[in-house]
Structure 1
Amino acid sequence: MWRGSEMCGIVGVAGRDAAKKVIDSLKILEYRGYDSAGIAVMLNGRMEVRKAAGTIENLISRYPEVLEMGGELGIGHTRWATHGRVSDSNAHPILDCSGRIAVVHNGTIDNYMEIREKLSIKHEFKTETDTEVIAHLIEEMLSRGMGRLEAFISAVSELRGEYAVACMFEGVNELYLARNKIPLVIGVGEGENYCASDVIALLGLTNKFIYVDDGEFARVSSRGVDVWRLEGEKLVPVEKRINLVDWSPSMASKGKYEHFMLKEIFEQEDVVRRILAESRRYIEGTISMLKDTMRRGGRILFLAAGTSYHASMVGKYLLNSLLEYPSEVSIASEFTRWNLGSLDGDDLVIAVSQSGETADVLMAVKSARKKGARILSFVNVPGSTLSRESDGVFFFSAGPEIGVAATKTYVAELVSFLMTFTELGKRIGARVDHVAEVLPRLPSLVASCLESSN
């Protein structure tokens, strides 16, 4: 399943033994990119950088000291090369001219050539990446007399594109973060705090998370977390909720399996059983929104991308065949062109996403909201952006998906649709008894299928 500009993994640690914690967390994110890897660590006020083309194991092989460096602050990155070839120099972290500012970045900077041309008069560029303009922009803002936070925000505000950015300054035990359309979370620990592209990277360190929203900036240290957003030219503090994620560290390990995809295939029995037992808490709200839409004669439109789009096609079939109610499916990237115009307040958009961070889905949901449509999301990750942008949520709780090809989450979406539409059918007198009888047997049927495999 291609994830586009969401590839690349970022990790940051503000606390004890930062280097090892960054490396261990990066290993969990390596599915997001394995063209190069690197870390920057603060050791007694001095910044040490180690990076190399290839996998994280290649980085450790070349610089075995990274596991023993300790450090009180660190950032790391595993790269899926976009701007610039695969090379040591293009690996992140990327530095400014002085070598005292380090930046890791996930996403694409659309106007980087324009910025690079402007800055190259005074700044020496040493990589082919779009990321390097961020480091030099911050350096430029500092040279104008700005403080660190002001320089960071001013630099990021000049960027056009999609990005999650983490930055550190030599001699300062603070991380500076920014997000626009690319996932970024803050982990809250005891006497230390963290950041990452995905909660799964930090499950071995904490289960408490703050989700950074588009347009927000954050400063993270071992002492605490501050978040702001710009309103005009004014920097306004943002109160953020700490979310508890009920996932265990073992969910982010391969266990006895050769690779994550195989592990996730064999987790399907437990996933189906958990949905049938635990996800019923979301049924009432979900059914209420569906019934209200059907009573008004409103449109029901599934909105998704990638694997979730194919699950939504099955969802359309189930809704039509079990409840005899018409529905449509739109691929998120084409939604505003073909499906947005006729939406209104009577209509329901069913947004489907494993991560809850799929950029095309989020953009389409915002457009649908502006037309007055209500949003019901089927999503895997609690606290994700999609769940927060929705009027109602069905969490299908499949646990973290690390394998690039979706397996258990596809099945989870199908079972969630089947359970929801069957329950609604029973309440409105539709003929669904034949499905209702099979639902409790699904876990054992999945188990039998898996047991018969090699």
Structure 2
Amino acid sequence: MSGIVGYIGRKTAWPILLDCLRRLDYRGYDSAGVAVSDLKHIEVRKTKGRIDDLHALLMLEPVGDGCLGIGHTRWATQGKPSDVNAHPLCDDQKRFFVVHNGIIVNYPHLKKQLTQAGHTFITETDTEVIPHLLAHYDTGDFTETVRKVLPMLKGTYALAIMSSQHPDTIIAISQDNPLVLGFGQGEAFLASDASALIPYTHEIHPIKNGEIVILQPGKIRVETIDGEVVEPQRIQVEWNEEDVSLQDYPHYMLKEIFEQPKAIERTIAGRLADDGVRLPELDAFLSDEQIQQLKKIDIIGNGTSHHSGMIGKKILEQMVGIPVETIISSEFPYSHGPLDEHHLVIVLSQSGETADTITALKTAKAHGCPVIAITNKRHSTVSRKADCTIYTEAGPELAVAATKAYTSQIVVLILLAIWLTEKRQGPGRPMIPELLRALRKLPEEVEKTLVMTHDAIDEFAQVTDDQNTLFLIGRGLDYVLALEGALKLQEVAYLHADAYPAGEMKHGTMALITPGVPVIALVTQEEVKDKTISNIKEIKARDAFVVGITTVGDDEVGDVVDGVLYIPQAHPFLMPILAAIPLQLLAYYAGAVRGYDVDRPRNLAKSLTVE
């Protein structure tokens, strides 16, 4: 979603603000802007477009060497991308300047009241009501004015605010929306994500609901809304500059695809024992009695996280032996079945800040369900609100399209399946020794898959260059993987990619198969291979161009398709991880050969913090 940054110190503010904004532009890139103060006056520059467009504007219209300021990169939710709708936004008297991430759900009511009171609005955004409210209820005391206005706002928001009457001060607030305070030497920073601050500081404080951060030269104060002083929690960020830099890769997406062996290695490190899985975070959370009393598991996620949850569902049901349901986060609050303390809820979110998932988590907690979070971000909202968190160790993921988050989430779901199977003496116990051996070899197998498929997939991406439609088919776990492959192609190559269970094509979709239409057939599950090959033959009879993805040595698939990509053979539960690699690479190169920005696809953003 949108990204917020702030700086106060002894250095010129605008270059630091721009650098931090560049590191946050995965959160939105429709428009960008900064407000910079020289301790006497505040100057604003903003423009439709990306950070480079803002930089060009600042070269034409400099803001001076002011040493404090705020910045914003926007993903449009209310109001189209434009110069006028770009943040920072101010009231009609230019007394207060605001950057905002989130949504103010009661803004129509507030806007109507303020308009009747004589305020003039010029944007289409919900954010604009905030500076107008601050101006309308201005007490002369910046902090007190903010305290007075906050209870009027309904919704989720992270805010950084400046005042022309107090040009030496920045105030920051977070309400169910991420914002971190960074500590430097005689300086302080604000950012929607700690990764933006890594070149400047590794010491942060995640701003919590009900806290107000007041930044002034040489001073950092954290207070509650009631004015009680809070000692900020100083947390060390574990990531380093190498983790968030491109290194020698042309795009973050390709870098993150190739980081998957290490990401998986870190995720399983310390969690595999000779006789099972070690998840001490769960041992401290779920008692043996609670585990035995579980009646159902619900897995909640959006997009790629939903797909990894679907893989987890099939594995958990086979191994643990209790019903598992996967539900899209945005649907869960309105479509869940009966919930109580005997229903385990697992929430999946790479960022830990996905608004739909947070709402679903709150719904589960309200019904008394025990909640496990699987996320990549420590100190995130999801990890703070869940009863227990199992962290993937994927490292920063800065491309909008998720890759290593997907494979790492599946690994954690498999670890959780083994752990629950051991505790409940589930039907999957005989599978555990073989699965443990396969998990230990998994990083190496992923590395092999990258080597085997990288060059070949580039050639196939060229074949799809003149195509607008593509189909993916599979059965069982292969069908779920087909859904994820289709999503990747939609996201970064803008292809109309559709995934179907292989056996369902003849029930309607076959009418769309015309000569030359590309079809990717996933055939990695031995138990359904014969039926999938039969379905491939049906499609080939309509002259489709079929590429098979199967395991080394499987000549049966190679004999019936136009092209084949071979990947290593592994445990059936791990094949959705290995087979994801060529699909990720295909999406990347299909987007790249079309000249698209694969890291920042149109109309999309990462870490969606509005519902």
The answer, yes or no, to whether TM exceeds 0.5 is yes
Show the 5 A alignment for 1:18-33. 18-33=13-28
More divergent stretch after superposition (240-249 vs 350-359)? 240-249
Preserved CA contact (<8 Å) 1:36 1:79: yes
- 1:43-62 to 2 correspondences below 5 Å: 43-62=38-57
Pick from 362, 374, 390 the counterpart of residue 394 of structure 1. Answer: 390
Match of 1:190 in 2: 185
Conserved in 2, the CA contact under 8 Å of 1:279 and 1:397? no
Is 2:303 the counterpart of 1:306? yes
Looking at structure 1, the residues matched to 412 and 143 of structure 2 have their Cα atoms a distance apart, in angstroms, of 44
Indicate which of 169, 172, 192 corresponds to 1:177. 172
Partner amino acid, structure 2, of 1:260:
Y
Aligned to 2:558: none
Structure 1 unmatched ranges of 5 or more: 1-6
One-letter amino acid of the structure 2 residue matched with residue 97 of structure 1: D
Q: 1:319 maps to which residue?
A: 316
Maintained 8 Å contact 1:419/1:439: no
Where 1:345 maps in the other structure, the secondary structure is: coil
Aligned to 1:419: 415
Judge which range, 87-96 or 120-129, deviates more.
120-129
Instruction: Give matches, 1:49-448, under 5 Å.
Output: 49-64=44-59, 69-120=64-115, 121-142=117-138, 145-170=139-164, 171-230=166-225, 234-278=226-270, 283-286=279-282, 289=286, 291-339=288-336, 342-423=338-419, 425=421, 428=425, 430-431=429-430, 432-448=432-448
The Cα of 1:282 is off from its aligned counterpart by 6.6
> Which residue matches 1:4?
none
Tell whether the 8 Å contact from 2:42 to 2:167 is kept in structure 1 after alignment.
Answer: no
Q: Distance in 1 between matches of 2:61 and 2:186?
A: 22
Q: Letter of the 1:197 partner, please give it.
A: S
Rounded to whole Å, the distance in 2 between the matches of 1:245 and 1:336 is 33
Distance in structure 2 (CA, Å) of the matches to 1:279 and 1:199 = 27
Return closer, same or farther for 1:365/1:276 CA change in 2, 3 Å cut-off: same
Whether the 8 Å contact between 2:294 and 2:344 is mirrored in structure 1 is no
Alpha-carbon distance change, 402 to 67 in structure 1, aligned in 2, over 3 angstroms:
farther
Shift of 1:408: 0.3
The equivalent of 1:14 in structure 2 is 8
- The separation in 1 between residues aligned to 2:61 and 2:161, in whole angstroms, is 19
Whether the aligned pair in 1 keeps the contact of 2:295 and 2:323 (CA below 8 Å) is no
Q: State the 1:446 CA deviation.
A: 0.6
Q: 1:267 to 1:421 in 2, by over 3 A?
A: same
Deviation at 1:272, TM superposition (A): 0.8
| Distance in 2 separating the partners of 1:292 and 1:311 | 28
Identity of aligned residues (%): 37
Q: Distance in 2 between matches of 1:279 and 1:225?
A: 40
Instruction: Return the letter of the residue paired with 1:443.
Output: P
Structure 1, 173-182 or 281-290: larger mean CA deviation: 281-290
Q: Secondary structure of the residue that 2:261 maps to in structure 1?
A: helix
Check conservation: 1:20, 1:70, Cα contact below 8 A: no
Query: TM-score scaled by structure 2?
Result: 0.68
Which residue of structure 2 aligns with residue 3 of structure 1? none
Deviation of 1:422 (Å) = 3.0
Aligned pair in 2 of structure 1 residues 35, 337: CA closer, same or farther (>3 Å)? closer
**Cα distance change of structure 1 residues 438 and 93 upon mapping to structure 2, 3 Å threshold:** same
Shift of the 296–37 alpha-carbon distance from structure 1 to 2, 3 Å rule, reads same
Map Cα deviations across residues 355-382 of structure 1 (whole Å, 9 max, x no partner). 1112222222223223222222111101
Three-state SS of the structure 2 residue aligned to 1:325 is coil
Deviation at 1:25, TM superposition (A): 0.3
The answer (yes or no) to whether the contact 2:263–2:393 under 8 Å persists in 1 is yes
User: In 2, Cα distance between the equivalents of 1:181 and 1:43?
Assistant: 32
Distance 1:79 1:173 in 2: 25
> After the TM superposition, which of the residue ranges 361-370 and 74-83 deviates more from structure 2?
361-370
Once the two structures are TM-superposed, the CA of residue 221 in structure 1 deviates from its matched residue by: 3.5
Q: How far 1:386 moved relative to its partner?
A: 1.4
- Aligned-residue offset at 1:235: 4.3
Counterpart CA distance in 1 for 2:41 and 2:53 is 24
Cα distance, 1:424 vs structure 2 = 5.0
SS of corresponding position for 2:136 = helix
Matching residue's letter, 1:58: D
Question: How far did residue 65 of structure 1 move?
Answer: 6.9
Which AA in structure 1 matches 2:131? A
CA distance in 1, matches of 2:179, 2:114: 28
Note if contact 2:296-2:322 (Cα within 8 Å) is conserved in structure 1: no
Paired residue type of 1:80: W
Q: Deviation of residue 275 (structure 1)?
A: 1.1
Whole-angstrom CA distance in 1 between matches of 2:61 and 2:451: 42
Contact 1:192 1:221 in 2 (8 A): no
Distance 1:279 1:216, change over 3 A: farther
Residues 92, 120 of structure 2: 8 Å contact kept: yes
Aligned-pair distance for 1:384?
0.9
Kindly provide the CA deviation profile for residues 421-444 of structure 1, in whole angstroms up to 9, marking residues without a partner as x. 335546748112221121111111
> Match for residue 36 of structure 1?
31
Asked if structure 2 preserves the Cα contact closer than 8 Å seen for 1:279 and 1:396, the reply is no
User: Is the 8 Å Cα contact of residues 193 and 222 (structure 1) preserved in structure 2?
Assistant: no
Letter in 2 for 1:13: Y
Offset, 1:278: 4.7
TM-score normalised to structure 1 length: 0.90
CA-atom RMSD, angstroms?
Answer: 2.5
1:107/1:435 Cα in 2 relative to 1: closer, same or farther (>3 Å)?
same
Aligned partners of 1:193 and 1:221 also within 8 Å: no
Whole-Å separation in 1 of the counterparts to 2:113 and 2:410: 51
**Residues of 2 paired with 1:207 and 1:291: CA distance?**
39
Contact 2:41/2:167 (CA < 8 Å) preserved in 1? no
Aligned-partner SS, 2:168 = coil
Cα deviation 1:168-205 (Å, max 9, x = unaligned): 12343221122233222222222211111111111111
